[in-house]
Amino acid sequence: MTPEQLAAQLRCPNGDDGQQVADNMNTHNQPIITATYEALALKGGESVLEIGPGTAGHLPALLARTADLDYTGLDLSADMVNAATAIHAHLPGVRFVEGDLHQPPLPTGHYQAIVAINVVYFWNPLAPALQALLTLLRPGGQLCLGLRDHRSMSTLPVFQHGFLTYQGPDLQEALEQAGFEDVSLQIIPEESINVMGDVMHKTGLVLCARKPEAQP
């Protein structure tokens, strides 16, 4: 695939190439996936929404962390929704839904936790996407975003095709401006092989924030 073709597949995987890209992401993104799931600090029984899970290769690890999670995966790609459903449909409390974050076929004010890993790059413009996440969360609900920083990703040819990158503090500020509170930033050094097969020394970022509690 050309970098432009790969960029399109990363944004919305489909067909045989999309399946291969999804498999690669499950493998190569393991450190940032694990760190972001850990940052959720779930206690059990929560309603969790994941944005852009692909085939959700690491879902069993999330479910093993806490009991009785109610998990929904929202993905743009019908192929990914179908593949994830085929793999994980036997798990209780798990479902996958095709849809766009900006008009999701999901209940508003419902989720106690939302997680999105390596998808913030595609939210252009950013502010409406953050508002959509805020709308989906319950008051007091938490959001965790996992991504690689600007220096790690901006020089890759694939990232020249419509991706947004962040240093960390700039995304922190955007979350605060969107209305989130208690915004934290965790920096995670990592070394891995990317989807192009190149060894990368990368810096992962995990940002967590909360929707304010409802006002009396």
Is a pLDDT exceeding 70 seen at residue 29? yes
**If you ran DSSP here, which 8-state letter would residue 180 be given?**
-
Give the H/E segment covering residue 205: strand 199-210
| The residue type at 209 | A
What is the pLDDT at residue 31? 85
Question: By three-state DSSP, how is residue 191 classified?
Answer: strand
What is the DSSP annotation of 124-178? SSHHHHHHHHHHHEEEEEEEEEEEE-HHHHTTSGGGGSS-----SHHHHHHHHHH
Query: CA–CA separation, 1 vs 163, rounded Å?
Result: 17
Query: CA–CA separation, 79 vs 83, rounded Å?
Result: 6
What is the pTM (predicted TM-score) of this model?
Answer: 0.86
Q: Exposed, middle or buried: residue 191 (CB in 10 Å: 0-12, 13-18, 19+)?
A: exposed
Is a pLDDT exceeding 60 seen at residue 134? yes
Is a pLDDT exceeding 80 seen at residue 175? yes
Task: Identify whether the C-beta of residue 26 lies closer than 8 Å to the C-beta of residue 18.
Answer: no
Is a pLDDT exceeding 50 seen at residue 3? no
What is the pLDDT at residue 162? 63
Choice among 112-126, 132-146, 161-175 with the minimum mean pLDDT? 161-175
**Domain ranges for the chain:** 3-210
- Confirm or reject CATH 3.20.20.70 for domain 3-210, answering yes or no: no
Query: CA–CA separation, 118 vs 121, rounded Å?
Result: 7
More confident residue, 65 or 71: 71
Confidence band of 65 (pLDDT split at 50, 70, 90): confident
The CA radius of gyration of the chain, in Å to the nearest whole number, is 16
What is the DSSP annotation of 62-107? HHHHSSS-EEEEEES-HHHHHHHHHHHTTSTTEEEEE--TTS-SS-
